């Protein structure tokens, strides 16, 4: 059985268009308006709708929720991409960006994409430094060091360890 919804929609849209055309052509009280009010032949135009404002924090939260959903369904790489996008939308003072980047780094490590995992963790550490949270930056740097060790990069592991020690030095 074929659905009649498209036909109903078409009929409704045509009815609205026809009614709109009739309303704009209807005579108005302008013919009896005082002489000080200018008469125009153009119908009044509706006011423009306000341009919606892009709410970065709300969009970041939506992306984070979608990433968690993908994560639970075993789609780690896609979830990591959404976590990184969520972090990019967050303001400089939002520590959630670091959490998103840490999760992305973990997911990418599990997927075997060590270079991208390290990049995500380094970005998280940079974000933490920018926020003034040196301890969190050191933690993310150490995690990047673990990824370097997993990758077989002993020199990189030592470099991350030195950086983490430097971050925690008073």
In the predicted model, what is the mean pLDDT of the chain? 81
Angle at 80 between CA 63 and CA 162, to 5 degrees: 120
**Domains of the chain and CATH, by start:** 56-168 (1.25.40.10)
pLDDT value at 8 more than 60: no
Q: Could you read off the pLDDT of 134-154 as tens digits, one per residue?
A: 999 999 999 999 999 999 999
pTM of the model: 0.67
Count Cα atoms within 13 angstroms, Cβ side, for 103. 23
State the burial class of residue 116 (Cβ atoms within 10 Å of its Cβ: 0-12, 13-18, 19+): buried
What does the pLDDT read at residue 152?
Answer: 95
pLDDT for res 150: 95
């Amino acid at each position: 059985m074929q659905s009649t919804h498209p036909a109903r929609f078409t009929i409704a849209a045509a009815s609205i268009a026809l009614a709109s055309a009739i309303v704009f052509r209807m005579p108005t009280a302008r013919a009896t308006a005082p002489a000080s009010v200018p008469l125009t032949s153009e119908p009044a135009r509706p006011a423009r709708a306000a341009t919606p404002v892009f709410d970065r924090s709300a969009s970041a939260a939506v992306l984070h929720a979608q990433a968690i959903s993908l994560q639970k369904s075993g789609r780690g790489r896609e979830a990591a991409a959404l976590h990184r996008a969520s972090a990019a939308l967050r303001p400089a003072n939002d520590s959630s960006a670091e959490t998103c980047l840490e999760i992305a780094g973990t997911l990418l490590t599990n997927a075997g994409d060590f270079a991208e995992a390290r990049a995500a963790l380094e970005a998280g550490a940079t974000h933490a430094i920018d926020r003034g949270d040196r301890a969190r930056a050191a933690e993310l740097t150490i995690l990047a060091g673990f990824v370097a060790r997993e990758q077989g990069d002993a020199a990189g592991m030592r470099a991350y360890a030195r950086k983490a020690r430097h971050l925690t030095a008073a």
